[in-house]
Amino acid sequence: MKFEVTILGSSSATPIFNRNPTAQVLNINEKLYLIDCAEGTQQQMLRFDVKGSRIDYIFISHLHGDHYLGLVGLMSSMHLNGRTKKLQLFCPAPLKELIDLQLKYSETTLHYPVEFIFTRTDVSEVILDNQDITVETIPLDHRISCTGFLFKQKKRMRKLIKDRIEELQIPVPYFTALKKGRDYEAADGTVYKNDTLTVDSAEPKSYAYCSDTLYNPKYFAQITGASLLYHEATFLNDMLDRANQTHHTTALQAAQVALDTKAGKLIIGHFSARYKTLNELLDEAQSVFPNTELAIEGKTFIISE
């Protein structure tokens, strides 16, 4: 099952030419999930051919402008482009007030329903559970209420061994039962054990999105073993004081999180505008956790195929 994330923005609050503030889009089984929606996200979607009409879920980590100021524009464009299907919006509660007020003053009545699901920062919760995934909030430690999001693929049914199925000429109506683990009894009474007809599906993968946060082990247990971890890395470690003061993380610390939580792979992002090039941030992280890559606009990371 396709499970991949494309970076739409990788910078922190102060703008810098050629980097956009935070937004990412997940493609999970051909459904799109937008995570954060900074100013300019719509333009990035056009640039990287991400269709707004395919997005049914939007997740906003917190109400600093560099994570949500593109949302009302995107929602208005969905409206102007004729959307009628429901949008689910997972966000801090005050965002509803902000959106309602902006729609009120622009005298806009959206042609599609928006379902708000408010996030909490005192406890982790499952906020979405559909046929493909579950999504849990990750309470983080930022200056204002902030959650990350943990996307967990569901365990899929067992896979048929096609050659064996054909050989035994097992009829199609039996397939679902086989995938669920049932044995097969042929017309002549012979019983074929399930594990001779099917193989286990791949282990479910997971994606942990840790936006703005102080390095704080409180969220480590929850994200342990993530196939792919995105973690903010606003500063180099020589600015650790500044990171602590602003409740951000350094590249070194982000790599330490990946190491401590046994991540499969790490992506770092949310880079301060002071870094015109990103090599030093990458080098610093890789010195602790070699399997690290940079969040680069337009780059897609495959979590499972």
**Which residues are the active-site residues?**
66
How far apart, in whole angstroms, are the C-alpha atoms of residue 2 and residue 16?
A: 32
- Which of 54, 65, 125, 196 is close enough to bind a copy of itself by CB under 8 A? 65
Applying CB under 8 A, which part among 83-91, 99-107, 126-134, 174-182 lies near a copy of itself?
A: 99-107
How many angstroms separate the Cα of 264 from the Cα of each of 13, 224, 245, 303, 305?
A: 28, 10, 30, 10, 15
From CA 212, how far away is CA 234, in angstroms rounded? 9
# binding residues, a copy of itself (CB under 8 A): 36
Question: Should residue 121 be labelled a site residue for a copy of itself when binding is judged by CB under 8 A?
Answer: no
Q: What are phi and psi of 126, to 5 degrees?
A: -80, 115
Q: Which range binds a copy of itself by CB under 8 A, 93-101, 152-160, 167-175, 231-239?
A: 93-101
Check binding of 264 to a copy of itself (CB under 8 A). Answer: no
Residue nearer to a copy of itself on the CB measure, 64 or 231: 64
Asked if residue 232 binds a copy of itself (CB under 8 A), the reply is no
204 binds a copy of itself (CB under 8 A): no
**Contact flags string 19-58 toward a copy of itself, x per CB under 8 A:** -x------------------xx-xx--xx-----------
Residue number with CB closer to a copy of itself (14 or 287): 14
Shortest distance in whole angstroms from residue 98 CB to a copy of itself = 6
CB of 280 to a copy of itself, least distance (A): 22
Stretch near a copy of itself under the rule CB under 8 A, chosen from 69-77, 160-168, 223-231, 249-257? 69-77
Tokens of 62: 């917190």
Instruction: Using CB under 8 A, pick the residue from 1, 31, 56, 69 that binds a copy of itself.
Output: 69
Q: Of these, 1, 2, 31, 63, which contacts a copy of itself (CB under 8 A)? A: 63
User: Between 70 and 269, whose beta carbon lies closer to a copy of itself?
Assistant: 70
Should residue 296 be labelled a site residue for a copy of itself when binding is judged by CB under 8 A?
Answer: no
For a copy of itself, the binding residues (CB under 8 A) are 13-17, 20, 39-40, 42-43, 46-47, 63-66, 69-70, 72-73, 76-77, 80-81, 92, 94-95, 97-98, 101-102, 105-107, 143-144
